[in-house]
Amino acid sequence: MSTTHTHAHGAAHEHHDDHGPAKGIGRWLFSTNHKDIGTMYLVFSLVMFLVGGAMAMVIRAELFMPGMQLVDPGFFNTMTTVHALIMVFGAVMPATVGLANWMIPMQIGAPDMALPRMNNFSFWLLVAAFSLLILSMFMPGGGPASGWTLYPPLVLQTGDALPLAIFAIHLAGASSIMGSINIIVTIMNLRAPGMTLLKMPLFVWTWLITAYLLIAVMPVFAGAVTMLLTDHFFHTTFFAASGGGDPVLYQHVFWFFGHPEVYIMILPAFGIVSEIIPTFSRKALFGYDAMVYATASIAFLSFIVWAHHMFTVGMPLSGEMFFMLSTMLIAVPTGVKVFNWTATMWKGSLSFEPPMLFSLAFLFLFTIGGFSGLMMAIAPVDFQYHDTYFIVAHFHYVLVPGAVFAIMAGVYYWLPKWTGHMYSMRLAKTHFWASAIFVNVLFFPQHFLGLAGMPRRIPDYSTQFADWNMVSSIGGFGFGLSQLLFVVLIWQCVRGGARASQVVWDDARTHGLEWTVPSPAPYHTFEEAPVIK
């Protein structure tokens, strides 16, 4: 494998290829550099994670004990709605796009993303989108309060916030589509010689599949919300029964987007974990091909399971049967992944640096989310779980100690490569243990609440639910505060610290091209493609 060539060696390149970062704010506003844009995505998602997290704190504070103490029920609904929209579209997705921007070119030996200007545009659109979404909370009539699923007819009761929120979704969707096109074009065209598809790192694979999912479903979502807009402003009745429309149609269209969306958030996480576990097990990933095929199967199945979110809408028996069985099938490829990660560790030589700790927590806790997912797939039993805290526990398990922990694992894994500095291991481990413990205190009791019959999205509850809600809230505050350690750690690592070596992690060199470039990674890498044997 080749190392990078500096300008002095790369005489064949045009001169302007070699300049360093521009000075001042222009570097960020007009950047076409995948590393700068990746950084902006990651910083943006961290800010959104904190904003969405603050909203979660409001929710957990109100739910700390029975009775209404802090907020109006309408504002509570705005908090649950905007918390979800921000976490899904503003925190998790941009974080994985940021990692893709940084790592995909470096992992496939490409000099940059294939479409750098579009890359810049897709990032800045996201900023516009979330400015609008946050502005929508201050509109007359209150912020969006119909849940992130925006079900009509309820969503049509939104005040002036509705067009802002919908336009925000349009912009965020356009940003995602452009980002996906960029990723696909980059992977298809800019791989280094010898980097065949089945030699690509798993992170690249999972993102390639994710990008196709995004392109397939984002326009569907855009269509659904556009119909909401015309129903509200132009007197169409796509979703209004009184005019011959159908409120359930919206749910079908939404979840045709919404279920693949779940995998859009988790597949890159699978990729990250598949990078990290082999490195810290000092052993190749077990069943690489099976991992790729399992990812592709999950992606395919994600298109035919959507109505398991709608078991209670009154579908015909055949529909319930189909969606129950297809949903259960997802357990097979997901199981293959969990078994393969476990087999990767089997007879390895494990060490427990922060990226590995987060990946291990992912492995255990995502699997718990998988189990509750399997339980919910069983339609007749889902009649009891549906729209209760059991569901809230389930999707937070797969998204927080699932997707978010994997993203944090990725940040801990690659941060020294990005900054050239090692971070404080002590602080990182403190962050890990605090997060891993509190996340369970926060979400595990929600299983009990759901089974005991507590509906989701309620601002106040019957006194029988008091105890576990208080436990959950304490976990929530602990988890929220723990994340400030993460911010401090990143800040410190960017500012300074022990120099990171080129391979950073003992034995990482065998696990990807990114470890063949210096730390910090130069502003331009692989201007001359490495050759993969």
Residues serving a catalytic function are 83, 112, 148, 175-176, 259, 261, 263, 274, 308-309, 334, 337, 456
Among 359, 388, 516, 525, which residue sits at the site for another protein (rule: CB under 8 A)? 388
How many angstroms separate the CA atoms of 312 and 194, rounded? 51
> Closer CB to another protein, residue 231 or residue 320?
320
User: Could you tell me the smallest distance in angstroms from the CB atom of residue 337 to another protein?
Assistant: 11
Stretch touching another protein by CB under 8 A, among 109-117, 221-229, 414-422, 467-475: 467-475
Q: Give yes or no for residue 467 binding another protein (CB under 8 A).
A: yes
Can residue 196 be called a binding residue for another protein (CB under 8 A)?
no
Cβ neighbours, 10 Å, residue 154: 14
Q: Which of 466, 485, 494, 529 binds another protein (CB under 8 A)?
A: 466
Give min distance, CB of 419 to another protein, in A: 25
Within 279-308, the residues that bind another protein by CB under 8 A are 281-290
Nearer to another protein, 350 or 488 (CB): 350
CA geometry: angle at 49 spanning 268 and 200, to 5°? Answer: 15
| Per-residue exposure over 69-102, b if at least 16 CB sit within 10 Å of its own CB, e if not | eebeeebbbbbbbbbbbbbbbbbbbbbbbbbbbb
3-state secondary structure of 352: coil
Considering only residues 216-245, where is the footprint of another protein by CB under 8 A? 241-242
Q: How far is the CB of 509 from another protein (least distance, A)?
A: 14
Q: CB of 170: closest distance to another protein in angstroms? A: 23
Q: Rounded to whole angstroms, how far apart are CA atoms 229 and 159?
A: 12
Nearest partner of 91 among 54, 41, 134, judged by Cα: 41
326 counts as binding another protein under rule CB under 8 A: no
Do residues 396 and 472 touch, judged by C-beta distance below 8 A?
no
Buried b (16+ CB within 10 A) or exposed e, 120-150: bbbbbbbeebbebbbebbebeebbbbbbbbb
User: Which residue stretch of 69-77, 100-108, 133-141, 525-533 sits at the interface with another protein (rule: CB under 8 A)?
Assistant: 69-77
Is position 317 an interface residue for another protein (rule: CB under 8 A)? yes
CB contact set of 72 (below 8 Å; sequence gap of 6+): none
In the region spanning residues 415 to 454, those forming contacts with another protein, defined by CB under 8 A, are: 448, 451-453
Q: Using CB under 8 A, which of 154, 441, 485, 503 touches another protein?
A: 154
* Residue placing its CB nearer to another protein in the complex, 71 or 135: 71
SS3 (DSSP) at 403: helix
Alpha-carbon distance 221 to 171, whole Å? 12
Is the Cβ of residue 320 or residue 527 nearer to another protein in the bound state?
320
Q: Are 105 and 111 in contact (CB under 8 A)?
A: yes
Q: What angle do CA 53, 122, 518 make, to 5 degrees?
A: 85
Contacting residue, 329, 427, 434, 485, with another protein by CB under 8 A: 329
Q: In the set 10, 163, 335, 480, which binds another protein (CB under 8 A)?
A: 335
**Is residue 57 involved in binding another protein (CB under 8 A)?**
no
Strand partners for 421: 499
Q: How far is the CB of 296 from another protein (least distance, A)?
A: 14
| The binder of another protein chosen from 33, 122, 146, 440 (CB under 8 A) | 146
Q: Does 153 bind another protein (CB under 8 A)?
A: yes
Q: Should residue 510 be labelled a site residue for another protein when binding is judged by CB under 8 A?
A: no
Q: Are 427 and 489 in contact, with CB atoms under 8 Å apart?
A: yes
Comparing C-alpha atoms, which of 240, 237, 184, 171 is closest to residue 215? 184
13 binds another protein (CB under 8 A): no
Tokens of 254: 């939404």
Binding mask 356-385 for another protein (x = CB under 8 A): ----x--xx--xx--x--xx--xxxx-xx-
* Shortest CB 456 distance to another protein, Å: 8
Report whether 516 contacts 526 (CB < 8 A): no
| Peptide linkage before 153 cis (omega within 30 of 0) | yes
Q: Which tokens sit at 80?
A: 């649950």
Q: How far is the CB of 305 from another protein (least distance, A)?
A: 14
Cβ proximity to another protein: between 285 and 403 the closer is 285
